[in-house]
Structure 1
Amino acid sequence: MEALSDTCRDLLARSRRYGPLYGERLANHLPMTLIALDRMGAPADAMERAFDVNARRLQLHDGDVGAVVDALEWLGKGRNAGGLDRFFQESVRRDGLDAVLRGWVPRLLPGVSASAFHCLIRLAYAIDAGDRNETCAALAYWVMEHVTLDLAADEVDEAPAAIAARLARALAGHAQWDGIIIDRMRQAARHPAVAGTAIQPATLDLRQVAQFALGAYHAQEDFTLLHTVTACHAFRVVAPYAGDPRRALRYLWEAVVVASLTVEPAPATTPAPAAGIDWQACMAQAARATDAHVVKLCYSAWCESLVYVDPRYLAIAARKLA
């Protein structure tokens, strides 16, 4: 794990004045954006510009709303980021960061969809960066925004794509989904065509989930589907702390497939092969971007391409940059 640049560390420290959410429960992407830019080799001026652009919309940290003795008492309450942050800081000082992660990630993974996957993603970036303060902030964020989909664990002898297609057919003609991504996901999970239905493949590995997410986003440029790709990257980073790998993966699949069900079919926007651009050029362009989703998508796509060697990752990154 390479150390972050001094510029990135300084900007991360400045970013901690802001809370994990802003506006109507939207995620603060600033820390993740800074880390992704640094990993892609962004110069100091590019990171400072991205900080300025993204910080404008953020809200100041709520501070310590109340002392936290047991973080589980604040699970899903949507507040007290400051108190929860301090709880995890003290836990890390007492027990060590590795022990805290191994103790808390398995508890939080049933809520992998929380804040449209951003709690998981922010924690993965913090682990990638090796930043203790950011890790504590990410854990606090996940606790306060924790929400579960509560779907059946029943298994079926179908491939992931076949399960998704079956559920999509069953949802045909559904009422309009409302709210932000996580609201729509919860509505889809409660729909009679999904709730109580077998959605778990009898055999499943992370490659299958990642390929499903990549295939869906490659075929349709959609904001929700983008998050399933970045979530698969994040899960891979967090997985060493997840405990039972089979249990953890099934929570990821549950969230990814439900997210895909909230996306209305649209004309295909499948990108052509990324002719004339390679990863070096793509990363150089992404390292100058200020849009958080462009930066994070390109970084995740690059990281995933190193593992799965699939040219579609470069194609989706090039399309996003365009």
Structure 2
Amino acid sequence: MTTGILDEAYERLAFAGPEWGEDTLTNHGPMAVETMVRRGHADRVHGWLDAYLTRLDALPSPRWPIDPTAWHEALGDGRRVADWTEYFTRAVRERPWRDVLTEWWPRLLPGIVAGTTHGVIRVSHAVGALLGTASPSPASAASPAVTELAHALAFWAARWRPVPGTTGPGPESPWRAAALTAVPRIPDQSGRVAARLAQLDDLPGWSGPGPRPNSPEDVPAALRDLVATGTRVYVDHGQASPVILVHVATAPNAVLRTLPALPPQLWTPSLDAVWAVSAALVSAYAPPHPVATPRPASPADGATLLDQAVHHRDEHVIKLSDTAADVYAWTGDPTVLAAGVRAAELIGSPS
């Protein structure tokens, strides 16, 4: 039943482009509905969509086909999102979705900033749906979840943008996720994302990728540490930028959730890339010291937090609560659940 509801939700969202409005806000519909279904709130999905769909703009018309021999020329060209959508929709119908993902993940990874990390996050939710509900056989090639993966990859490709000042892989040194909070801050934490990140090129002490573990087998644990640290960053600094700082935690969790569908040789580069973008967001949006506000009370458990988030209805609150519940499941630390409560306090409910 829940698989059917998710497929129905994807079909209702299929008309929409990945962004909407004059400010090109990200379409979070596919990410939110996957979270709600996975977390046991499938019965709330269609009611949530009834309201959310009114915000969205239709996918624009294609311009001209992506040249498979010169695809790199179209990376980061937001005007060609419909061309990329056609390209990836055809690709996942002609080949197993895992093969398409494995081919394109290393091509897209250097542009992980795409849509303020929403490219990689949307891909991860689609992959999660496929790993949980669908078969990679040719018979499933036209399933709504496979089509959603194509749309997600297209968004990432169209908004492809690298982290400024990033050169090469991370250093081989002892893994310390806590180093995330020690990254240098840009001198002017104001303005839009692009203007802030552009300052990284000239920021003393900025190095891009952080420490890397000794082997690919250690990457999942390193990512869990990074997600946990990013979640705690939100508890302490969320008031500085309630929406953007959500992604310091949700972006590395997106990579972590995608690892089972990727070959191990891609795991360490994935950690390098997502460390760099998480650190860049901390540098650009988190003040050097925690905001002096009382820590919100934590709910009893992750399920309670998700109940509260779904009732709140904001897509960022749902996403961060989903990640905080993961961290609680790994660590048993109830204080991380305060991240979702903090987000609900700071971000207005659309209901």
TM-score, normalised via structure 2 length: 0.79
**Structure 1: how far apart are the matches of 2:197 and 2:161?**
9
Aligned to 1:165: 182
Aligned to 1:295: 318
**Could you give the per-residue CA deviations for residues 99-151 of structure 1, whole angstroms, max 9, x where no partner exists?**
11111111111112211110011001111112101100000000000011241
Note the residue ranges of structure 1 that are not aligned, 5 or more in a row. Answer: none
User: Where do residues 1-322 of structure 1 align in structure 2 (5 Å cutoff)?
Assistant: 4-23=2-21, 24-44=23-43, 46-70=44-68, 71-130=71-130, 131-149=145-163, 150-153=165-168, 155=171, 159-162=176-179, 164-165=181-182, 167-168=184-185, 171=186, 174-179=187-192, 181=193, 183-193=194-204, 197=207, 200-201=210-211, 203=213, 205-221=222-238, 222-240=242-260, 241=262, 243-265=265-287, 267-269=291-293, 271-274=295-298, 277-322=300-345
Most deviating of 286-295 and 253-262: 286-295
Aligned to 2:216: none
Q: Residues 146, 53 of structure 1: CA spacing in aligned structure 2 closer, same or farther, 3 A cutoff? A: same
Q: Residues 164, 187 of structure 1: CA spacing in aligned structure 2 closer, same or farther, 3 A cutoff? A: farther
The amino acid that maps onto 1:216 is V
**Percent of pairs with identical residues:** 24
**Structure 1 SS opposite 2:204:** coil
Q: Residues 32, 163 of structure 1: CA spacing in aligned structure 2 closer, same or farther, 3 A cutoff? A: closer
Q: Residues 61, 312 of structure 1: CA spacing in aligned structure 2 closer, same or farther, 3 A cutoff? A: same
What value does the CA root-mean-square deviation take over the aligned residues?
2.6
Kept in 1, the 8 Å contact 2:227–2:250? The answer is no
Q: Which has the higher contact order (CA 8 A, sep 6+)?
A: 1
Most deviating of 154-163 and 135-144: 154-163
In the TM superposition, residue 165 of structure 1 has moved relative to its aligned partner by: 2.3
In the TM superposition, residue 270 of structure 1 has moved relative to its aligned partner by: 5.7
Q: Residues 93, 320 of structure 1: CA spacing in aligned structure 2 closer, same or farther, 3 A cutoff? A: same
Aligned to 2:135: none
Kept in 2, the 8 Å contact 1:69–1:87? The answer is no
Most deviating of 260-269 and 61-70: 260-269
Most deviating of 85-94 and 263-272: 263-272
Q: Residues 245, 279 of structure 1: CA spacing in aligned structure 2 closer, same or farther, 3 A cutoff? A: closer
TM-score, normalised via structure 1 length: 0.86
Most deviating of 204-213 and 257-266: 204-213
**Structure 2 SS opposite 1:93:** helix
Note the residue ranges of structure 2 that are not aligned, 5 or more in a row. Answer: 131-144, 214-218, 346-351
The amino acid that maps onto 1:137 is H
The amino acid that maps onto 2:210 is Q
**Structure 1 SS opposite 2:78:** coil
Aligned to 2:134: none
